[in-house]
Chains A and B, each alone.
Chain A
Amino acid sequence: MSESSMPQLNPEYFASQIFWLIFSFAILYIVMAKFALPKIANVIESREDIIARDLEEAENYKKDSEATELKYTNAIKEAQNKASETLAISREKLNKQIEADKKAFDQESAELVSKFIADLDMKKQKVLQDSEQIANDVAIDIINKILGADALNQDNVKSSIKTMLKN
């Protein structure tokens, strides 16, 4: 208070302040210019390099993966085509086989059927013939049983009729 109301205007410590300012600022400048700033620049630069390299790498990986994907889809498409082709061929083969088998079967079965029909006709005829004989025999048998053993005898019939007429 006694010297000045503003300590800033007191020249007593001007020299000291300038001296220590130069001293500390010089140290600061030397340390910054020689060590700190190159180091920071280096760190920032190397980080940028790393980032650029990583980005490039990522881009490459992306390209690779795209190529792989293309290859993969192509392979799948190819396989699908092949499979459908194989399927069509085998289906055609199978169809042919089935048709041929069917034809053979039809032929065979037709033969068999016609043979059976012929056989059946023959048997039918035979049965018909047999059945006439059987019918005759049965009729005679029945008549015999009912009217006596000789009912159908000519004479017996004539006599029978005569007795009936007389009555």
Chain B
Amino acid sequence: MAAEKSGAPDPMHQFNIVELIDIELFGLNLSFTNSSLFMVFSVALIIFLTLFSFNGRATIPTRLQSVAELSYEFVAKMVRDNVGDEGQKYFPFIFCLFMFVLFCNMLGMIPYTFTVTSHIIVTFALAIVIFFGVTLIGFIMHGIKFFNFFVPSGVPKALLPLLVVIEVISYLTRPVSLSVRLFANMMAGHTMLKVFGFFVAGMFFSGNLFISPLGIAPLAFIVAFTGLEILVAFLQAYVFAILTCIYLNDSIHMH
């Protein structure tokens, strides 16, 4: 809103949070915002896809049922390949994680929507829960021996302190890298699209006969880049889920 008043186009305007319903609980602002709306909408879509596309458990699946089964088998294979049989317990969580991030990313690709995963707080909340969960699983399964995870084997004793420090740091930065990767990808892509959108509008309506037709160039770029962004939206959801699988595997099997 502020950007429009000031006259200059603001590519970050799309990330603004807008309160839809004011909710104040325990002294916290828990308002239902456009972000909340798209979270709930994503969840509703996933539930619709996985639960209501199954009419009478047909042997020959409908299209929607096929999509649901494909996602199920895609994630199931991911968990099986990366974690193994012990990972089956965590399959529902990985499935939810993948589908949630995927749907939030994909819904964000529709113009005028809000991209939930373009906010660092959301991706960081997911990542920190994964981090603590995975660490907890490691300690539950291996007890105090889980600390061996930070001690690489077959290394000269003199180097060990240094390597342990490096291992611990790399372990602790996992939630940061996991969340920033997703957030930065989504934010950068959407900002880029918006910036080029401003180029298109600015050139078409410049009133200059030479510049106006050239607006077709950024428009073509936006079309191509939208395709790339859809790929990124899927890829980041996949990366998020598969890294969670890998962290889980580290905790369950150590190295």
Contacts and interface: CB of A to CB of B under 8 A. Distances in A.
Given A32-B46, A36-B68, 14 more contacts: A1-B2, A1-B3, A1-B10, A2-B2, A7-B15, A8-B187, A14-B121, A17-B17, A21-B125, A29-B92, A33-B92, A37-B92, A37-B95, A40-B50
B42 interface: yes
Interface of A: 1-2, 5-10, 12-25, 27-29, 31-33, 35-37, 39-44, 46-47, 50
Contact of A8 (B47, B69, B121): B121
5 contacts: A2-B2, A16-B30, A16-B33, A20-B32, A28-B47
Contacts of A31: 47, 51
Nearest to A4: B12
Contacts of A10: 17
A41 B42 CA distance: 22
Interface of B: 2-3, 6, 10, 12, 15-17, 23, 28-33, 35-36, 39-40, 42-43, 46-47, 50-51, 54, 57, 59, 61, 65, 68-69, 72-73, 91-93, 95-96, 99-100, 116, 118-122, 125-126, 183, 187
Given A8-B118, A8-B121, A50-B59, A27 B43 contact: yes
Most chain B beta-carbon contacts within 10 A, residue among A23, A32, A33, A44: A32
A59 to B, nearest CB: 19
Contacts, number: 135
Contacts of B69: 40, 43-44
B65 to A, nearest CB: 8
A8 B15 contact: yes
A120 B73 CA distance: 114
A36 B96 CA distance: 11
A47 B61 CA distance: 10
B252 to A, nearest CB: 19
A16 B31 contact: yes
Q: What 6 A-B pairs are tightest by C-beta distance, nearest first?
A: A20-B36, A36-B50, A33-B92, A1-B2, A24-B39, A15-B28
Contact of B96 (A25, A40, A50): A25
Given A1-B2, A20-B40, A28 B100 contact: yes
Contacts of B46: 28, 32
B29 A32 contact: no
Contacts of B95: 32, 37
Given A21-B122, A31-B47, A43 B16 contact: no
Contacts of A14: 121
A137 B27 CA distance: 177
Given A1-B6, A8-B118, A8-B121, A24 B31 contact: no
A28 B29 contact: no
Contact of A32 (B16, B39, B65, B96): B96
Contacts of A33: 92, 96
Nearest to A35: B51
A44 B17 contact: no
Most chain A beta-carbon contacts within 10 A, residue among B28, B42, B50, B61: B50
Contacts of B92: 29, 32-33, 37
A11 to B, nearest CB: 8
Contact of A36 (B12, B47, B119): B47
B43 A24 contact: yes
Contacts of B118: 8
A44 B73 contact: yes
Contact of A13 (B17, B43, B54, B59): B17
A134 B230 CA distance: 141
A63 B91 CA distance: 42
B43 A6 contact: no
B39 A37 contact: no
A47 B69 CA distance: 12
A18 B72 contact: no
Contacts of A16: 17, 23, 28-33, 35-36
